[in-house]
Amino acid sequence: MRLHFCGTRGSTPAPGPEFVRYGGHTSCVAIAHDGQAPNLLLDAGTGARRVSRLLDGAAFDGVVLLSHLHWDHTHGLPFFGGGDHPEARVDLHLPAQGADPEQLLARGMSPPHFPIRPAQLRGRWRFHALEEGTHDLAGFRVLAREIPHKGGRTFGYRVDDGKVAVAYLSDHQPTALGPGPDGLGERHPAARALIDGVDVLIHDAQYRVEELAERGHFGHATPDYAVRLAEDCGAASVVLFHHDPARTDTEIDELLSHARGLSTAVSVSAAVQGTSLDLT
């Protein structure tokens, strides 16, 4: 399995020289089977634009799996050249929430807000309402579990190819379920089921601990929570993700250094746009 970090930022894109090293595009992780082009996208923020270069000009044939429908996770859809392509074959899945999935997406992507609606993207696009549970998607075994995040149903995902497993909790507000053992949020059953023994945990790390009191109600977590949860669940490594749009490269360096000091059992890194990770 190979992970491509195409967008690592949260909330809004972050252009400018102080955001170059970790990247300014919003959430998108492309996953590929060994030696193949990516065929599974986790979210489609503005980072989805970068997926096309991984396809070397070819049309995308695979699955787009949305964790939720906030703008920073969907705005890349019409600008994803490999998907908006006459020969594209795309199955898009989003958390079921009592309405037609294409119509849900069209609330934010249709005239007068945008020139076209999702069903007008070129190629063959199919839209699916996904329920919790285990699904076979793009040749991977995917576990979907609902996790707390403000403003619409949100899923975390566990992706397994039979050899390695990755957990993706890009937007996660564990404090919504209570303070937990250290005031950073509950280490709740859904998160534990997704993370148990994974090789890599990609986790929301938008806020510093000292920012939680003022900003925690916006729906995000801290690196401290991610590392301690990973340690509890036996994850081998954590990738800090969904960087705050105002967090400069230097500040992320400092946040990463702090997070690495929290555990000797878990390897900690910060997601860098444009990098890839091979898992064996």
What CATH number does residue 126 fall under?
A: 3.60.15.10
Phi, psi of 166 (to 5 degrees): -125, 135
Phi, psi of 122 (to 5 degrees): -70, 160
Beta strands in the chain (DSSP E): 2-7, 28-32, 40-42, 61-65, 89-95, 124-130, 133-137, 140-146, 155-160, 165-169, 200-204, 237-241, 267-270, 276-278
Query: What is the CA 36 to chain-centroid distance, rounded?
Result: 21
Rounded CA gap, 237 and 216, in Å?
A: 24
The pLDDT > 70 percentage for the chain reads: 100
CA-nearest of 211, 231, 230 to 221 is 211
Instruction: Give residue 185's identity as a one-letter amino acid code.
Output: G
The answer, yes or no, to whether residue 243 has pLDDT greater than 90, is yes
Position 219 scores a pLDDT of 86
The answer, yes or no, to whether residue 280 has pLDDT greater than 90, is no
Residues in the chain: 280
Ramachandran quadrant class, 133 (left: phi over 0; alpha: psi -120 to 50; beta: rest):
left
Residue with tokens 């945008």: 114
Position 35 scores a pLDDT of 87
205-215 pLDDT tens trace:
999 999 988 88
Model confidence at 246, pLDDT cuts 50, 70, 90, reads very high
Domain region containing 197:
2-278
Model confidence at 226, pLDDT cuts 50, 70, 90, reads very high
Query: What is the CA 212 to chain-centroid distance, rounded?
Result: 21
Position 216 scores a pLDDT of 78
How many Cβ atoms sit within 10 Å of the Cβ of residue 261? Answer: 10
Position 134 scores a pLDDT of 98
Number of structural domains found in the chain? 1
The answer, yes or no, to whether residue 268 has pLDDT greater than 90, is yes
CA-nearest of 42, 34, 57, 56 to 6 is 42
What would the mean pLDDT of 189-211 be, rounded to a whole number? 97
Position 174 scores a pLDDT of 97
Q: How far apart, in Å, do the first and last CA atoms of the chain sit? A: 7
Position 213 scores a pLDDT of 81
* The pair of three-digit structure tokens given for residue 200, joined into one six-digit string: 């890599």
Q: Is 132 exposed, middle or buried (0-12, 13-18, 19+ CB in 10 A)?
A: middle
51-110 pLDDT tens trace:
999 999 999 999 999 999 999 999 999 999 999 999 999 999 999 999 999 999 999 999
Rounded CA gap, 40 and 56, in Å?
A: 16
Give ∠ CA 59-22-5 in degrees, rounded to 5: 30
- In terms of pTM, does the model score above 0.95? yes
Rounded CA gap, 186 and 191, in Å?
A: 9
CA-nearest of 140, 137, 119, 34 to 77 is 119
Ramachandran quadrant class, 274 (left: phi over 0; alpha: psi -120 to 50; beta: rest):
left
Whether 277 and 44 have beta carbons less than 8 Å apart is answered as: no
How many Cβ atoms sit within 10 Å of the Cβ of residue 123? Answer: 16
List helix spans (H) across 59-181: 101-106
